[in-house]
């Protein structure tokens, strides 16, 4: 039996971008642990089947179609959670996407540089969404004197790569947003932490051959010799949402098999 500090039963949790991949893995761990989980996604394409899957497993969730980069949608999301539960204990900002292009044309590459719209899109989907989510729940958590915020970043926050300029910039910015809010909100019983995953392929949506290549490549490129399993990020998020992590705030925890140190 786990110590009571690790319990999250009946905690209320919002997870963005949770219809698939890492977000789905996080939502599954919390739902299985007895938390009340709301998941958001931009469309119902994956969200509706997800809700049906969780319902069939006996771990029902609340699905909400919303744009996590839109402040009005964030207000509606939080209002929906408050109407359903009366409180929000945990916010997990999980949205993310990348466009790999150089800043300017590189001799001999033949590739086009990143555009203004692509720059803004990647910043919005990786950084602005967390800013808006934190702003949407901040006043509520401060009034309650309690809350847990978990931002999902990536190992690119620590280590840049060619043609990864905007993605790395956004993820590094998310780490600083996390640190700054942790200091602003510490006096109000709110912790703000960040998880930076490495390579976590989604077997439900990715091409099987691509996953096989990732697994093979990881044997030599990742110090622990393998890719991550989606559930592992959820387990770390569970710790950060629980009372077991009550004395931790402002941290970015890398879960990448040692990749960001290699």
| Predicted local confidence at residue 198, as pLDDT | 93
Query: Of 167, 188, 247, 254, which is the active-site residue?
Result: 167
Q: What is the pLDDT of residues 13-41, one digit of tens each?
A: 999 999 899 999 999 999 999 999 999 99
What is the average pLDDT across 175-189?
Answer: 98
- pTM value is 0.95
Q: What is the pLDDT of residues 196-248, one digit of tens each?
A: 999 999 888 778 888 899 999 999 999 999 999 999 999 999 999 999 999 99
CA atoms within 13 A on the CB side of 2: 12
Structural domains of the chain, count: 1
pLDDT score of 144 more than 90: yes
Whose CA is closest to 193, among 232, 165, 161, 233? 233
Residue with tokens 């950084």: 127
Q: What is the pLDDT of residues 117-141, one digit of tens each?
A: 999 999 999 999 999 999 999 999 9
CATH of the domain at 96: 3.40.50.720
β-strand partners of 236: none
Sign of CA dihedral 5, 149, 28, 216: negative
How big is the chain, counted in residues?
262
Sign of CA dihedral 207, 53, 238, 135: positive
| Predicted local confidence at residue 94, as pLDDT | 96
Query: CA angle at residue 159 from 155 to 162, to 5 degrees?
Result: 110
Which residue did the predictor score with more confidence, 259 or 108? 259
Range of the domain at 20: 4-261
Q: Is residue 46 annotated as a catalytic residue, yes or no?
A: no
């Amino acid at each position: 039996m786990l110590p009571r500090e690790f319990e999250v039963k009946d905690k209320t949790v919002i997870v963005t971008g949770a219809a698939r991949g890492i977000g789905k893995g996080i939502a599954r761990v919390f739902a299985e642990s007895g938390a009340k989980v709301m998941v958001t996604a931009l469309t119902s394409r994956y969200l509706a089947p997800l809700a049906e899957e969780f319902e069939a497993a006996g771990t029902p969730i609340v699905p909400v179609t919303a744009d996590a980069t839109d402040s009005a949608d964030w207000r509606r999301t939080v209002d929906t959670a408050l109407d359903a539960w009366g409180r929000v204990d945990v916010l997990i900002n999980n949205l993310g996407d990348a466009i790999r292009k150089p800043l300017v044309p590189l001799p001999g590459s033949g590739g086009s540089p990143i555009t203004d719209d692509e720059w803004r899109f990647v910043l919005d989907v990786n950084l602005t969404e967390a800013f808006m989510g934190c702003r949407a729940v901040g006043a509520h958590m401060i009034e309650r004197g309690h809350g847990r915020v978990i931002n999902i970043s990536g190992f690119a926050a620590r280590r840049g790569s060619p043609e990864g300029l905007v993605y790395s910039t956004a993820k590094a910015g998310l780490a600083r947003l996390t640190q700054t809010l942790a200091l602003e909100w510490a006096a109000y019983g709110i912790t703000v932490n960040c998880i930076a995953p490495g390579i976590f392929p989604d077997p439900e949506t990715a091409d099987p051959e691509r996953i096989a290549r990732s697994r093979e490549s990881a044997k030599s490129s990742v110090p622990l010799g393998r890719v991550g399993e989606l559930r592992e990020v959820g387990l770390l998020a569970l710790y950060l949402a629980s009372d077991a992590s009550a004395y931790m705030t402002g941290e970015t925890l890398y879960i990448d098999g040692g990749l960001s140190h290699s």
